[in-house]
Amino acid sequence: MIARSLVPWLLALMALVLLAPAVGAQTELTGQTSGGAFYKIVVPDGWTPAAGLVIWNHGFDLSPIAPEPDLGPLAAVQLAEGYAVAASSYSLTGWAVFETHLDNEQMVQAFEDNFGRPDQVIVYGASLGGIVTARDLEEGRIPNVVGAMPICGAVAGSRVWDGALDLRLVYDLICSDVPGAAIPGGANGLPFPPDPNFDNNALGLALNACFGLPFQPNAEQAARLGQLLELTGLPVEFVGTDMGFATFGLADLVYDPRKLGGAPALDNSSVDYGDAAANAGIERVMADATARRLLLDNYTPSGRVGDIKIVSLHTDKDGLVIIENESAYAEAVPAGNLTVATVVEDTPTHCDFTEAEVLASWESLRGWLAGLPQPTAENIQTTCNGLVIGGLAEGPCRIDPDFEIPDLSLRVRPRDTCVPNGETLCLGNGGRFRVQVQWEDFDGNTGPGRAGLVTTEDTGSFWFFGPSNVELVVKSIDGRQNNGNFWIFFGSLTNVTFDMTVTDTQSNLSKVYTNPAGNFASVGDTEAF
């Protein structure tokens, strides 16, 4: 049953689908960028720049880079709708986001050299491809990006590695003394460098020794498994998958010289695991501030997406890229740029959507780009049902418009470090100082300052009413050689009231600086922290 109020939306979307031309002849271009990434481009005959380009970003893969990358699950539909389609293998394996923005920039340049510059570009991707997509939007290296669609995307970015670290250390807490269950490494040097003598089979034997997986555990194994699930919130179906990510994926991230190069970027030194015994017994890892900054820079979304329209699709029980990624992304990206649709599934999966759910999200994004109002999750569910009823895609349709996405901090324990997002600047000394702003205009309207341009590691800005109108510039200075303190300077370019809160994430001390209504404050605090 489709609500009458949603019928106009559905009819408009169905018109877009049914007017798509039949697939005809195509031109295929393959190659390799100077950075080492392979690419594949397919262009329908008769393509013009007005038709646009779609870029597909694939997921996490530790396999060697290979030519002929896959073009994504909607390539046939997109080509039929007149788009050109392109995809990159990436130049790195694993957490490839260190280089993907450059890989895709070079791929698009190859496209332009052969076919011309597209008037509009839509970027989408799944799993790791979700954060690759988010970085593509914010880097601005690809011209004319108008829309994006992360699917089960790791859109919390580098914060997912905090969860991987926690899982590995919780495992060590529970299992390291169990015969046959120990994994090389440990907190002192975690993770171990990639070791051909410890592979997936060896990991499987360790998990079997500790938890009895994948078979029926005995009483002791079941108790240990229950403890792991309680402390991590993982579904049991994903213990093996997630331990693989937290073992081999984490080792690749830390030791790959084009990523962290062995730098200690992970930290749980002050994490509260919500359990007294776990807090007392778990090993602690401390990050170097510069290395931590490198990880956050590769990549944590800032939310600076301009006018780009984003539809994000996720399942509620994903055990690898958890649904809470979406709450972190929604904190960074303005609500007017982002619609999130959550599929409620019976059993946990990773990216197991039906054809109709993915196609409905895509067509809803297209409708939004074509001038329809921003779609809601209810609109997307309605479109999904329409596609199934019309025989255009296989269902079922399981999007719950009322689903409330939990906060990421409930699953990935927060760190006393600064995480930059759309409302937060992280300045100075490896991002040590968290800066946030709340404003009130002369009519009593209030809101958060939006983090703007970061010109150096120490200097950034905020806007209140529009991204092109900077209202506040702030910087931190390490003045310890002069007077033993960190200094905070800011200059107001507005006379509305605002409170700027600066927090030293190492000491957890905060200072609030206020600009009264009618003033243009300029402050140099040389004894801030």
pLDDT band at 129 (very low <50, low <70, confident <90, very high): very high
Mean pLDDT lowest for which of 3-12, 158-167, 391-400, 511-520? 3-12
488: amino acid identity, one letter: I
- Checking if the pLDDT of 91 tops 70, the result is yes
C-alpha to C-alpha distance for 503 and 481, rounded to whole angstroms: 21
CA angle 12, 15, 20 (to 5 degrees): 140
Give me the percent of the chain exceeding a pLDDT of 70.
Answer: 93
Rounded to two decimals, the pTM is 0.82
Query: What per-residue confidence (pLDDT) applies to 113?
Result: 98
Query: What per-residue confidence (pLDDT) applies to 253?
Result: 93
Query: What per-residue confidence (pLDDT) applies to 13?
Result: 54
Assess contact for 220 and 184: CB atoms under 8 A: no
Rounded to an integer, what is the distance from CA 275 to the centroid of its chain?
A: 28
Task: State mean pLDDT over 453-467.
Answer: 87
Task: State mean pLDDT over 448-465.
Answer: 88
pLDDT band at 84 (very low <50, low <70, confident <90, very high): very high
Assess contact for 487 and 526: CB atoms under 8 A: yes
- Checking if the pLDDT of 8 tops 70, the result is no
Query: What per-residue confidence (pLDDT) applies to 188?
Result: 47
- Concatenate the DSSP letters of all residues of 375-403 into one string: PPHHHHHHHHHHHHHTTSS-----B-TTP
State the architecture of 4-156+301-408 in CATH terms: 3-Layer(aba) Sandwich (3.40)
- Checking if the pLDDT of 47 tops 80, the result is yes
Q: Which residue has the tokens 């914060």?
A: 159
Q: Which residue has the tokens 């004894």?
A: 527
Please state, rounded to an integer, the average pLDDT across all residues of the chain.
91
- Which whole-number Å values give the CA distances from 465 to 87, 108, 303, 452, 494, in the listed order? 37, 33, 15, 12, 11
Strand partners, 474: 460, 490
Query: What per-residue confidence (pLDDT) applies to 90?
Result: 98
- Checking if the pLDDT of 459 tops 70, the result is yes
Query: What per-residue confidence (pLDDT) applies to 414?
Result: 84
Q: pLDDT tens for residues 19-36?
A: 455 556 899 999 999 999
Going by the DSSP 8-state scheme, the letter that residue 340 receives in this structure is E
Within 10 angstroms of residue 337's Cβ, the number of other Cβ atoms is 17
Strand partners, 26: 44
Mean pLDDT lowest for which of 47-56, 114-123, 456-465? 456-465
In sequence order, the 6+-apart residues with CB closer than 8 A to the CB of 445 are none
Query: What per-residue confidence (pLDDT) applies to 12?
Result: 55
- Give the domain ranges of the chain: 4-156+301-408, 158-284, 425-525
Within 10 angstroms of residue 76's Cβ, the number of other Cβ atoms is 12
C-alpha to C-alpha distance for 302 and 300, rounded to whole angstroms: 6
C-alpha to C-alpha distance for 416 and 157, rounded to whole angstroms: 17
- Checking if the pLDDT of 18 tops 60, the result is no
- Paired sense of beta strands 497-504 and 509-515, if any: antiparallel
- Checking if the pLDDT of 382 tops 90, the result is yes
- Checking if the pLDDT of 7 tops 70, the result is no
User: b/e map of 36-48 (b: 16 or more CB within 10 Å)?
Assistant: ebbbbbbbbeebe
Query: What per-residue confidence (pLDDT) applies to 11?
Result: 54
Q: pLDDT tens for residues 314-331?
A: 999 999 999 999 999 998
Query: What per-residue confidence (pLDDT) applies to 140?
Result: 93
Query: What per-residue confidence (pLDDT) applies to 267?
Result: 86
Query: What per-residue confidence (pLDDT) applies to 191?
Result: 60
Query: What per-residue confidence (pLDDT) applies to 3?
Result: 46
